[in-house]
Structure 1
Amino acid sequence: MLHTTKRIIFIILGAILAALALEFFLVPNNVIDGGIVGISIIVSHLFDLPLGIFLFLLNLPFFLFGYKQIGKTFALSTLLGVTIFSLGTTYFHHFEPFTKDLLLSAVFGGMLLGVGIGLVLRYGGSLDGTEIVAIILTKKLPLSVGQIVMIANIFILGSAGFVFGWESAMYSLIAYFIAFKVIDITIEGLEETRSVWIISDQAKEIGDALMNRLGRGVTYLKGEGAYTGDDKQVIFCIATRLEEAKLKTIVEELDSEAFLAIGHIYDVRGGRFKKKDIH
């Protein structure tokens, strides 16, 4: 129950922040975002109708797709987020924008929009159906989700040039890029967690050094070289972006020939991820 309440609160908060970004920064200055949000802004401008109507109606088909493809929890979270998002833009539309400066609007609007969308995504919903479509299209096209979203957004942001002028389109690109990066930060957190895999003949020494010098717990896994058939000991641990350089230094000092793989991960739960004190 507590988990569900927390999810609802943060989805509502994220949707409100996204609505504030549109109505206080982006829309009054003819700066748009990508995806369904961008299409909604363009269509709202062309037909001179409230933005909230199109945000809800254009996302509705993707809500139904999401229900079938991803699940009930995602669909209901998305419906809640999109509803609050749509109502929020309608309510905030009556207020004066914070600034008329295009650059400030793109930067701060993009940041606020990124935080809002990122919160909704982090807690299991969505404010834009573009990625849902991309997931479905990847089954029929030789393209990744990211490539399909990028192609769609290039077309949408390019369309803004014909509707609002090319200067607005360029500022829209700035807002989109900032929102894109802030979404990642909001989902991952400022520390940007990394997963680390190390294969070395000095696995025990490296593992001890990571625990004692970096303060991170490690797990030893047993592996086998496919080519040689030799037994290999694999070290797995979790670290943050700020610890990455020190981790590489430790591994290099103890075994310059060690295999090291570092990957981005979005969430870590359970286990003993919390860093212990180093004395």
Structure 2
Amino acid sequence: MGKQHFRLTKLELLIRTVFLTIGAALVAVALEIFLVPNSIVDGGITGISIMIAHVTHLPLGLFLFLLNIPFLIIGYKQIGKTFALSTLYAVTIMSIGTVLLHPVKPLTYSTFLAPVIGGVILGIGVGLVIRNGGSLDGTEIIAILFNKKLPFSVGEVVMFMNLFILGSAGFVFTWDSAMYSLIAYYIAFKMIDVTIEGFDESKSVWIISEEAKELGDAIMDRLGRGVTYLQGEGGFTGGAKKVIFCVITRLEEAKLKSIVQELDPAAFLAVGNIHDVKGGRFKKRDIH
């Protein structure tokens, strides 16, 4: 079979473009209104651009655009045309945004508020761009390329590069700036997760219990979630085991644990994070 090509509808393309624009604009606001005026840098190409702009006294947007382009070209085959175009668009909006916002007076010079508020806005902006099929940093592309030749994951390569870049801020600015940059980076990192996954993060649940049927009925009745019964076999005993599998949200985890504790305190319970849920009957049934 040949490759199937999926094209976005005009409405989907418009929605994606709107969110890419909002995300890139938020990053520009975070950089020019909160972080850069307080000598706080971000990780990746953005951090490098901030430091070069500080040393050369040239516009930040110039370096944000120019430094990302080579990595887009290098990684074009790795990331695909749609991702490359979305990234190019987002980077362009971010670069123009920083140039337009540069004359605007910063909202705060507080060493507490700047990294916190700036990190939150930055994380939401980057998360929106990633969620809509783009990126704002060439280091992710570098990490993908290095990952094929080094025994490290993409995340580990990105983390190593960012620690090096954030540490460099101590030499370009001050060591206080480097430490504030780490705070902003951590907050942004967490906000990216929240923006991509949402507050209703899904979790997979595995329960092995002698009271499987009673537990399954309680989960369906009291949580409104569907369950699947699987047949298992004990590794040590060789005995038949009934396994319950279901998917819940993070907010329902505590209630599920209380149900298990109430009906079978001896049950084996495992809960894990899920990044994406599609198909099936995950939509919650109304409880009357």
Instruction: Give the alignment's TM-score, normalised by structure 1.
Output: 0.92
Pairing partner for 1:154 from 139, 149, 163: 163
Q: Does 1:3 align with 2:12?
A: yes
Task: Give the SS at the match of 2:134.
Answer: coil
Task: Give the SS at the match of 1:28.
Answer: helix
Q: Distance in 2 between matches of 1:220 and 1:60?
A: 51
Contact 2:131–2:196 (Cα < 8 Å) also in 1? yes
The 1:167–1:243 alpha-carbon spacing in structure 2 relative to 1, beyond 3 Å, is same
Which one-letter code corresponds to 1:161 in the other structure? G
The 1:273–1:156 alpha-carbon spacing in structure 2 relative to 1, beyond 3 Å, is same
Q: What is the CA distance between 1:147 and its match in structure 2?
A: 2.0
Q: What is the CA distance between 1:211 and its match in structure 2?
A: 0.8
Which residue is 1:138 aligned to? 147
Range with greater deviation from structure 2 (252-261 or 211-220) = 252-261
Q: Mind listing any 5+ residue stretches in structure 1 that lack a counterpart?
A: none
Which one-letter code corresponds to 1:59 in the other structure? N
Q: Distance in 1 between matches of 2:143 and 2:240?
A: 42
Q: Work out the number of aligned pairs and report it.
A: 279
Q: What is the CA distance between 1:159 and its match in structure 2?
A: 0.5
Which residue is 1:211 aligned to? 220
Q: What is the CA distance between 1:232 and its match in structure 2?
A: 4.0
Q: What is the CA distance between 1:109 and its match in structure 2?
A: 0.6
Q: Distance in 2 between matches of 1:258 and 1:222?
A: 16
- % same residue: 66
Which one-letter code corresponds to 1:113 in the other structure? L
Which residue is 2:179 aligned to? 170
Q: Distance in 2 between matches of 1:160 and 1:89?
A: 20
Q: Mind listing any 5+ residue stretches in structure 2 that lack a counterpart?
A: 1-8
Task: Give the SS at the match of 2:183.
Answer: helix
Contact 1:122–1:187 (Cα < 8 Å) also in 2? yes
Which one-letter code corresponds to 1:155 in the other structure? F
Post-superposition CA distance 1:135-156 (Å, at most 9, x none): 2222222222222222111111
Contact 2:75–2:145 (Cα < 8 Å) also in 1? no
Which residue is 2:265 aligned to? 256
Which residue is 2:45 aligned to? 36
Which residue is 1:77 aligned to? 86
Q: Distance in 2 between matches of 1:49 and 1:96?
A: 18
Which one-letter code corresponds to 1:220 in the other structure? Y
Q: Distance in 2 between matches of 1:251 and 1:66?
A: 48
Range with greater deviation from structure 2 (244-253 or 10-19) = 244-253
Q: Does 1:269 align with 2:274?
A: no
Task: Give the SS at the match of 1:264.
Answer: strand
